[in-house]
Structure 1
Amino acid sequence: MPVSRRSTFKAATALAALGASAATANAAEGKAGGEAIGAGVDSLGFDLGMPTPDRADKLYDALDFQQAVLCYLWAIPTVGMESARQMLVDNAGARSGDLVLVTGYREVSVMLGSNVTTPYVFAHIDLADRPVVFEYPEGATAGSLVDWWDRPLIDVGASAPDAGKGAVFILVGPGQEAPKDLPRGARVLRSRTRKVLLFSRGLDSDPRKVEEIFETARIYPYGQSPGQGRTRVLRFKPEGRLTSMKHPEGFAYWRRLVNALEQEPVEDRDRFFAAMLKQLGIESGRTFEPDARQRKILQKAAVVGEETAKAIAFNTRIPGMRYRADAQWEYLIPPSFSNEQDVPGGTLFEERTKFFYEVTGTSEAVLTRTPGAGSAYLVAYHDTNGAAFDGGRSYRLRVPADVPAKLFWSITLYDTDTRGLIQNRQQIVDKSSHQKLRKNPDGTIDIVMSPTAPAGLEKNWIPTTPGRSWYAYFRLFGPLEPYFDRSWGLPDIQATTS
């Protein structure tokens, strides 16, 4: 169901009304004498201080709704992982252990926060029955193996411990014993979840060369000879509508969550959420068949939950997110973020909500602070006046001449609702220093984002669509010290008249 401001307002108004009546009751108790207290509370659904059955039902409805919204936000990382698996199943017919090559505008458009610079490779791996062997290939790749809460097990590829030379991993699921007779050089990776996702990308822009690298990979149950079966490298179906990686809307969100949690252990940090979900009809080993009351609450909570996630992502209150005070650019990844999602004193709740509402998959490389290594991400959700970017208007970004990126920089536009690539007839969504862009005499480059091509700057143009809003990621590949110490600045994206 599409997120409706009207339905959100109704749900919020119902909660506000309930809170107001409770506040009125408290005020009445504070002002009145003993005899009058009972009368004041009685009129609000209490009998001598005891809630009437009708009042109790309303209070439980409010409690379950509030808890459902919290559960929606809590579940965003794992629903994102399950949505990635569903994308691979629907679009490529992928089974556990199959590799899927994703490349080009059409295919990458259904991914969260991705770009079309180089191809991606995914695989979902089920560890339910026994450990799995993953012979990761040698070659120019970079990525990570992550568990079903999007916590990295290990980075893979050029920026990882294997340094692009390949590696053999033994993936061990929760409650399983690690094999003692390991293949030579193999490394045991213990996952806290039954399911694991590989997300990687080839560092060569040629899909065929990337496919050739991954054709040497092998994923198979421990104890089975790798020669018994070749690991498939699949592609998305060439025609028809593709399933998106975005989080489902409305009631479908909860069905996706049920699938994500199936046979997964409940960690200590998540026990209260498991208790909340039980009251909503979601419990391990139990068929998800919510009654009419639960369904109504879940439907409304999905609407409010999604809008709250948007607020956390696009209007964040997380401290330290602004890159510099002189522009609207923010860090995509909160500076306080930890891939474990836990820090002394608690769990990063809003931080992981923001990050994983926009993207799926993380790695140690994206958190590096080593100059010249990994990548860095700045994001702009608003123009210089703090307004949302309108696909029907024209905007301009003047990229400085001295971007501190060892490899290259790029800017990519994303649709606000899908968090995937913007859609346009030209299939142009980004510009980068790899491209032959028109430069100004001082070396700066003007990137234009508008529904019509700017005269003389056609090479620097990213087409936008009227009626759709967008936001921008500015990526620095191999960021250098001026980025980290913030002595380098990136100007705001500004609205123009042409």
Structure 2
Amino acid sequence: MTVLSKILTSALLGSALCSASAAWAEEANPFEGDAAVKTRIGELNFQSGYPSAETVKKLYDEMDFQRASQAYLWGIPAVGMNEWRRAHYSVFGGKSGEMLTYLDFAEKLGILTPNYTTPYIATFIDLKETGPFVVEVPPGLIAGMILDPWQRVLADLGVVGPDMGKGGKYLIMPPGYGPVEAPGYFVVQATSRDVFAGFRLLDADKEKAIAEMIPQIKTYSWTVEGTGEPMPARAAGDKKWSQMPPRGMTYWDSLNEVIQRNPIDERDRLILAQLKFLGLERGRPFKPDERQSKLLQDGVLVGEAMAKANTTDKRVEPPFWEGTNWKHALVVATDQKANTYDQLDERAAWFYEAVVISKAMLTQTVGVGQRYIASYKDADGAWLSGENTYKLHVPANPPAKNFWSVTAYDEATRQMPVTEQGRPDISSRKEDIVANEDGSVDVYFGPKAPEGKEANWVQTNPDKGWFAYFRFYGPTEAFFDKSWALPDIEKVNP
């Protein structure tokens, strides 16, 4: 660059800066002098540019309320998992690492959006209590996962895990343990004190799978010198419980418990900096004062309202089949990370209404794993409501190697609806399902079965909202290339 060019460039840059500075200086300052500023949170008063005492209080209350409502969304995966952890110990009397089975409607009733047709087996492990711990997975058509308290995947188990359906021993190492030599084990490094381990049995012969696989499931402690006494799986039992994130101050009590028990991630430090002013801080007793409690309760109320919108009217992605109301139910990655950010709305959308995640549940492999598609609206764009009768036409040859199922869930609880029928699901494994001549199936939802359609009917509760999950087990190529498509649920005359 010549000397003249440098001079001209400097002159132009100086002129631009002067212009920008002049424009800024001319811009009106809403806070200058004695001012009353109208905002979406009401009028804010300033004296000589400084906020009045009343305005300072209003602004801090608004700051803390906004932080509480956003922290509600942030805490959903941890609180949902912690409510199940609490139930494992206090409701079911489970030991740390003891596998409990959830096999029928009554046992699964407290779980968020469980599949009615598949047996569940799950446990919670306190690694501070147990030390290194082993989960033995039997061979067969089984899928599962090991998760941290925020429901991030530490390992997949079964057909999509490293054992590839052949069974294996998974050694879970607590935080702070160095590398170990453990021949014959799949070593999983935990990042937290509390971990979840669970799986579902997917074999077509459900009773055979229960009889043969569950006795092979064992858990026990591990040291370099040897292993502890194996614990067999046992029935959770028919007990009333709920895995739903609670409301009011109980929500924050549960979230505080997770924070106090487990290491803090780097990604969460800014959120915890905000919660400090609401009385929630790692290493300190959670004793919010009257003002903080009021703001926290308001935050839960508005936060859950936001969670409902964020879940049932997802804006994080378009419909799965163009022109329909069907969207991915599971919109979060297994590590809760996108390319340029950590997922917040995505994980809140899934974990508000569901529990657990695995690579298998987000499969991209033809014929392996599962995929879940959800709908909350009918073909006219109206919310699904239990007093109406609806029909879902399932075209012939659904792209599912193993089986497909469609399940209705209660909007208020995100659990299976309690009805006289006691069966919220229709699946291709239902023995008396009635198919049309072309191989398609019509599924009906409503308070009463349309005449002659009892075998293909799912009962709903009048005046209660509901939504549907359509699950593909072993999705085939037509699912991925979308050459097969599911139409919207249609409102029909009963």
Please report the TM-score for the alignment, with normalisation by the length of structure 1: 0.87
Matched residue type, 1:297: L
Residue aligning to 1:444: 440
**Cα drift, residue 386 of structure 1:** 0.9
Aligned residue runs from structure 1 range 60-459, under 5 A: 60-128=60-128, 131-140=131-140, 141-178=142-179, 180=180, 182-204=181-203, 206=206, 209-210=209-210, 213-223=213-223, 228-238=228-238, 242-320=240-318, 322-334=319-331, 337-435=332-430, 436-459=432-455
Instruction: Give the Cα separation in 2 of the matches to 1:391 and 1:114.
Output: 19
**Cα drift, residue 30 of structure 1:** 3.4
Instruction: Give the Cα separation in 1 of the matches to 2:220 and 2:366.
Output: 37
Matched residue type, 2:482: R
Instruction: Give the Cα separation in 2 of the matches to 1:78 and 1:33.
Output: 41
Matched residue type, 2:492: T
Question: CA RMSD for the aligned pairs?
Answer: 2.3
Indicate the larger mover: 217-226 or 472-481.
217-226
Q: Report the secondary structure of 1:128's partner residue.
A: helix
- Structure 1 gaps, min length 5: 1-28
Listed one character per residue, the Cα deviations across residues 412-468 of structure 1 (whole Å, up to 9, x for unaligned) are: 000011111111011011111112222222222111111112111111111111121
Query: Within the alignment, does 1:493 sit opposite 2:494 as a pair?
Result: no
Query: Within the alignment, does 1:471 sit opposite 2:462 as a pair?
Result: no
Instruction: Give the Cα separation in 1 of the matches to 2:226 and 2:77.
Output: 32
Instruction: Give the Cα separation in 1 of the matches to 2:282 and 2:344.
Output: 23
**Cα drift, residue 206 of structure 1:** 4.2
Instruction: Give the Cα separation in 2 of the matches to 1:457 and 1:214.
Output: 36
> What is the number of equivalent residue pairs in this alignment?
461
Instruction: Give the Cα separation in 2 of the matches to 1:137 and 1:484.
Output: 29
Residue aligning to 1:23: none
Instruction: Give the Cα separation in 1 of the matches to 2:368 and 2:325.
Output: 25
Q: Report the secondary structure of 1:199's partner residue.
A: strand
Name the CA shift for 1:73/1:462 in 2 (closer, same or farther; >3 Å). same
Listed one character per residue, the Cα deviations across residues 111-137 of structure 1 (whole Å, up to 9, x for unaligned) are: 111112121001101122564221413
Residue aligning to 1:481: 477
**Cα drift, residue 265 of structure 1:** 1.4
Q: Report the secondary structure of 1:262's partner residue.
A: helix
**Cα drift, residue 273 of structure 1:** 0.7
Instruction: Give the Cα separation in 2 of the matches to 1:52 and 1:383.
Output: 51
Residue aligning to 1:20: none
Listed one character per residue, the Cα deviations across residues 352-408 of structure 1 (whole Å, up to 9, x for unaligned) are: 111111211111111111111111111111001111111111101111012111111
**Cα drift, residue 207 of structure 1:** 5.8
Indicate the larger mover: 288-297 or 399-408.
399-408
**Cα drift, residue 213 of structure 1:** 3.0
Instruction: Give the Cα separation in 1 of the matches to 2:187 and 2:30.
Output: 68
Instruction: Give the Cα separation in 2 of the matches to 1:60 and 1:33.
Output: 17
Please report the TM-score for the alignment, with normalisation by the length of structure 2: 0.88
Q: Is the 8 A contact 1:263 1:284 kept in 2?
A: no
- Structure 2 gaps, min length 5: 1-26
**Cα drift, residue 82 of structure 1:** 0.6
Instruction: Give the Cα separation in 1 of the matches to 2:299 and 2:448.
Output: 39
**Cα drift, residue 40 of structure 1:** 4.1
Listed one character per residue, the Cα deviations across residues 73-100 of structure 1 (whole Å, up to 9, x for unaligned) are: 1111111211221232233111211111
Name the CA shift for 1:57/1:136 in 2 (closer, same or farther; >3 Å). same
**Cα drift, residue 160 of structure 1:** 2.1
